[in-house]
Chain A
Amino acid sequence: MAAVRTDSERTEKGWEPKLIAFVCNWCTYAGADAAGTRRMLYSPCVRIIRFPCTGRIDPHFIVRAFEQGADGVLVSGCHPGDCHYVSGNLLARRRFAIFKALMDFLGLEPERLSFSWVSATEAGKWVEVVNSRVEALRKLGPARVPWGTLSGPPPSLNGRSVAPMPQEPLSQVKPDDYQAVESQLRQLAEGLLATGQVKAVLGYGKGSLQQATPIVITNATEANQLIFNEHCVQNLTVYLTSPSFRSLRPLGVVVKACDSKSLVGLLQEDQVKREDFRAIAVSCPGVKVNGRWADKCLSCDQRIGPIADHIVGSSEPKSTAGADPRDWEIQTIEKWAPAERWNFWMNQFSRCIRCYACRAVCPLCYCQPCIADKNRPQWIPTSPHLKGNVSWNLFRALHLAGRCIGCDECTRVCPVGIRLDLINRRLSLEVAKRFGYEPGKDPSVPPPLATYRPNDPGEFIL
Chain B
Amino acid sequence: MKVRNDYLPDLVRIVAMTDETVDLRTLRLVFEDPSLRDRFSFLPGQFGQYSVFGVGEAVFTIASSPTRKGYIECSFKLMGKVTTALRDLEVGDLIGFRGPYGNGFPVETLKGRDLLIIGGGVGMAPLKSLIEFCLDNRRDFGEVTILNGARTVADLLYKKEMEEWGQQEGVRVIQTVDPGGETPEWRGKVGLIPNVLNELAPKPDGKFVVVCGPPIMIKFSLQVLDRLGFSPDRVITTMENKMKCGLGKCGRCNIGPVYVCKDGPVFTAADLARLPRDY
The answer to whether any beta carbons of A and B sit under 8 Å apart in the complex is: yes
| Residues of chain A having any CB pair with chain B under 8 Å | 375-376
Q: Please report the C-alpha to C-alpha distance between residue A375 and residue B84 in the assembled complex, in whole angstroms.
A: 12
* B184 close to chain A: CB less than 8 A: no
* B180 close to chain A: CB less than 8 A: no
Q: Please report the C-alpha to C-alpha distance between residue A376 and residue B80 in the assembled complex, in whole angstroms.
A: 8
Q: Please report the C-alpha to C-alpha distance between residue A376 and residue B82 in the assembled complex, in whole angstroms.
A: 10
Q: How far is the CB of B80 from chain A (nearest CB, A)?
A: 7
Q: Please report the C-alpha to C-alpha distance between residue A376 and residue B84 in the assembled complex, in whole angstroms.
A: 10
B84: A residues at CB distance < 8 A: 376
A375: B residues at CB distance < 8 A: 80-81
A-B pairs with beta carbons under 8 A, tally: 5
Q: Please report the C-alpha to C-alpha distance between residue A375 and residue B54 in the assembled complex, in whole angstroms.
A: 13
Q: Per DSSP, are chain A's interface residues mostly helix, strand or loop, or mixed?
A: loop
In the complex, residue of chain A having the shortest beta-carbon distance to the beta carbon of B56? A375
Q: Please report the C-alpha to C-alpha distance between residue A375 and residue B57 in the assembled complex, in whole angstroms.
A: 13
Q: Please report the C-alpha to C-alpha distance between residue A375 and residue B81 in the assembled complex, in whole angstroms.
A: 7
Can you list 5 A-B contacts (CB < 8 A)? A375-B80, A375-B81, A376-B80, A376-B81, A376-B84
Q: How far is the CB of A376 from chain B (nearest CB, A)?
A: 5
In the complex, residue of chain A having the shortest beta-carbon distance to the beta carbon of B85? A376
Q: How far is the CB of A70 from chain B (nearest CB, A)?
A: 21
A376: B residues at CB distance < 8 A: 80-81, 84
B80: A residues at CB distance < 8 A: 375-376
Q: How far is the CB of A189 from chain B (nearest CB, A)?
A: 36
Q: What's the tally of chain B residues with a CB closer than 8 Å to chain A?
A: 3
In the complex, residue of chain B having the shortest beta-carbon distance to the beta carbon of A375? B81
Rank and list the top 5 A-B pairs by shortest CB-CB distance, nearest first: A375-B81, A376-B81, A376-B80, A376-B84, A375-B80
B81: A residues at CB distance < 8 A: 375-376
Q: Please report the C-alpha to C-alpha distance between residue A386 and residue B193 in the assembled complex, in whole angstroms.
A: 52
Per the 8 Å Cβ criterion, residues 82-118 of B in contact with A are: 84
Q: Please report the C-alpha to C-alpha distance between residue A108 and residue B84 in the assembled complex, in whole angstroms.
A: 37
Q: How far is the CB of A67 from chain B (nearest CB, A)?
A: 16
Q: How far is the CB of B88 from chain A (nearest CB, A)?
A: 13
Q: How far is the CB of A391 from chain B (nearest CB, A)?
A: 18
Q: Please report the C-alpha to C-alpha distance between residue A376 and residue B78 in the assembled complex, in whole angstroms.
A: 14
Q: Please report the C-alpha to C-alpha distance between residue A300 and residue B81 in the assembled complex, in whole angstroms.
A: 47
Q: How far is the CB of A140 from chain B (nearest CB, A)?
A: 32
Q: Please report the C-alpha to C-alpha distance between residue A376 and residue B52 in the assembled complex, in whole angstroms.
A: 14
Q: Please report the C-alpha to C-alpha distance between residue A376 and residue B79 in the assembled complex, in whole angstroms.
A: 12
Q: Please report the C-alpha to C-alpha distance between residue A294 and residue B81 in the assembled complex, in whole angstroms.
A: 43
Q: Provide the B57-92 mask, 1 if CB < 8 A to any CB of A, else 0.
A: 000000000000000000000001100100000000
Q: How far is the CB of B53 from chain A (nearest CB, A)?
A: 11
In the complex, residue of chain A having the shortest beta-carbon distance to the beta carbon of B82? A375
Q: How far is the CB of B59 from chain A (nearest CB, A)?
A: 16
Q: Please report the C-alpha to C-alpha distance between residue A376 and residue B83 in the assembled complex, in whole angstroms.
A: 12
Q: How far is the CB of A431 from chain B (nearest CB, A)?
A: 35
Q: Please report the C-alpha to C-alpha distance between residue A301 and residue B221 in the assembled complex, in whole angstroms.
A: 65
Q: How far is the CB of B44 from chain A (nearest CB, A)?
A: 32
Q: How far is the CB of B86 from chain A (nearest CB, A)?
A: 13
In the complex, residue of chain B having the shortest beta-carbon distance to the beta carbon of A378? B81
Q: Please report the C-alpha to C-alpha distance between residue A389 and residue B140 in the assembled complex, in whole angstroms.
A: 58
In the complex, residue of chain B having the shortest beta-carbon distance to the beta carbon of A377? B81
Q: How far is the CB of A93 from chain B (nearest CB, A)?
A: 35
Q: Please report the C-alpha to C-alpha distance between residue A301 and residue B80 in the assembled complex, in whole angstroms.
A: 50
Q: How far is the CB of A382 from chain B (nearest CB, A)?
A: 11
Per the 8 Å Cβ criterion, residues 139-176 of B in contact with A are: none
Q: Please report the C-alpha to C-alpha distance between residue A376 and residue B56 in the assembled complex, in whole angstroms.
A: 12
Q: Please report the C-alpha to C-alpha distance between residue A176 and residue B81 in the assembled complex, in whole angstroms.
A: 58
Q: How far is the CB of B238 from chain A (nearest CB, A)?
A: 26
Q: Please report the C-alpha to C-alpha distance between residue A375 and residue B80 in the assembled complex, in whole angstroms.
A: 9
Q: How far is the CB of A379 from chain B (nearest CB, A)?
A: 13
In the complex, residue of chain B having the shortest beta-carbon distance to the beta carbon of A374? B81
Q: Please report the C-alpha to C-alpha distance between residue A171 and residue B81 in the assembled complex, in whole angstroms.
A: 56
Q: How far is the CB of B234 from chain A (nearest CB, A)?
A: 40
In the complex, residue of chain B having the shortest beta-carbon distance to the beta carbon of A376? B81
In the complex, residue of chain A having the shortest beta-carbon distance to the beta carbon of B84? A376
Q: How far is the CB of A167 from chain B (nearest CB, A)?
A: 50
Q: How far is the CB of B52 from chain A (nearest CB, A)?
A: 13
Q: How far is the CB of A180 from chain B (nearest CB, A)?
A: 48
Q: How far is the CB of B182 from chain A (nearest CB, A)?
A: 35
Q: Please report the C-alpha to C-alpha distance between residue A333 and residue B117 in the assembled complex, in whole angstroms.
A: 69
Q: Please report the C-alpha to C-alpha distance between residue A138 and residue B150 in the assembled complex, in whole angstroms.
A: 63
Q: How far is the CB of A383 from chain B (nearest CB, A)?
A: 13
Q: How far is the CB of A132 from chain B (nearest CB, A)?
A: 37
Q: Provide the B198-232 mask, 1 if CB < 8 A to any CB of A, else 0.
A: 00000000000000000000000000000000000
Q: How far is the CB of A81 from chain B (nearest CB, A)?
A: 42
Q: Please report the C-alpha to C-alpha distance between residue A318 and residue B80 in the assembled complex, in whole angstroms.
A: 54
Q: Please report the C-alpha to C-alpha distance between residue A168 and residue B84 in the assembled complex, in whole angstroms.
A: 59
Q: Please report the C-alpha to C-alpha distance between residue A129 and residue B123 in the assembled complex, in whole angstroms.
A: 60
Q: How far is the CB of B243 from chain A (nearest CB, A)?
A: 16
Q: How far is the CB of A317 from chain B (nearest CB, A)?
A: 51
Q: Please report the C-alpha to C-alpha distance between residue A340 and residue B201 in the assembled complex, in whole angstroms.
A: 77
Q: How far is the CB of B252 from chain A (nearest CB, A)?
A: 15
Q: How far is the CB of B31 from chain A (nearest CB, A)?
A: 24
